[in-house]
Amino acid sequence: MKTIGLIGGLSWQSSIEYYRIMNELTTKKLGGKHSCQCVMYSVDLDPILILKDENNWEKVNEIIKDAVLRVENAGADFTIICSNTMHKSVDFIKDEVSKPILHITDVIGNTVKNMGLRNIGLMGTKFTLTEDFYRKPLEEKFGLNIVVPDEEDIRLIHRIIYEELDFGIINSDSKNKFIEIINKLKEKGAEGVVLGCTEIPLLVKQEDTELPVFDTTTLHATAAVNMALGL
């Protein structure tokens, strides 16, 4: 079993889900009392959020690079960043670390493509929805057509993530608003929806919509276990 390095705290609520999913899946695959062999470095989220809002990604990249190097020094054979938005840093740090980083868009792109879908709705922070670092790989590498919410809904999603989900607040009104946005994406031609923020699956589940839902937390954690076990 390879050792997985996790960059957590982005937020810690979803980091818990990563840890739970990976251990449950390892036990299921190996039986007995087997658990996931991993190391986690959990960053302090608040300064990172401030730096992102200030558009100081150079400093954010340094924080993430430092975190990756810490888990590598602790014995990680590869790393996963437990956040969709923070994958913006990967292109800037991948040549400065020594072990592979399992990119979340590779996991999502392969999953969607294997289902034979092409038009995919995307929900996430304003960074994920409006910048190229997430959408471009899905479009160019996997040939997907990414459908995003309108500007007003992007602001709403971002606010709920920042002001509620990052604090572990699960609000039924916010859940209904997210479902309304998913329905709008369906009207725009989406054949499925990527929950492109690791906190969104805390609020929205597959049973909440008829569209196939791609839970990035579960898919990323599952791919990490399969990679660790050589599956």
Domain check: are 136 and 99 in the same one?
no
What is the total count of domains within the chain?
2
Residue 166 and residue 208 in one domain: yes
Who contacts 154 (Cβ-Cβ below 8 Å, separation ≥6)?
A: 126, 129, 130, 148
pLDDT, residue 12, reads 93
Q: Are residues 202 and 225 in the same domain?
A: no
Q: Does residue 2 have a pLDDT over 90? A: yes
Q: Is residue 185 pLDDT above 90, yes or no?
A: yes
pLDDT surpasses 90 at 168: no
Nearest C-alpha neighbor of 81 from the set 65, 96, 95, 92: 65
Which pTM was predicted?
A: 0.94
pLDDT, residue 23, reads 98
State whether 139 and 202 are in the same domain.
yes
CATH number at residue 110: 3.40.50.1860
> For 113-138, how does the pLDDT look when each residue is reduced to its tens digit (9 = 90+)?
999 999 999 999 999 999 999 999 99
Of 89, 87, 91, 123, nearest to 104 by C-alpha is: 87
- Domain identity same for 115 and 208: yes
Domain, as residue range, for 92:
4-103+219-229
Render the burial of 10-38: b for 16+ CB within 10 Å, e for the rest: bbebbbebbbebbbebbeeeeeeeeebbb
Does the pLDDT of residue 145 top 90, yes or no? Answer: yes
Asked, as a colleague might, if the bond just before 14 is cis with ω within 30 of 0, I would say no
Average confidence score pLDDT of the chain: 96
Query: pLDDT grade, residue 79 (50/70/90)?
Result: very high
Does residue 97 sit in the same domain as residue 15? yes
Same domain, 66 and 150: no
120 and 66 in a common domain: no
Q: Tell whether 131 and 32 lie within a shared domain.
A: no
Tokens of 19: 């840890």
209 shares a domain with 131: yes
Looking at the structure, tell me whether residues 120 and 76 fall in a common domain.
Answer: no
Q: Are residues 72 and 168 in the same domain?
A: no
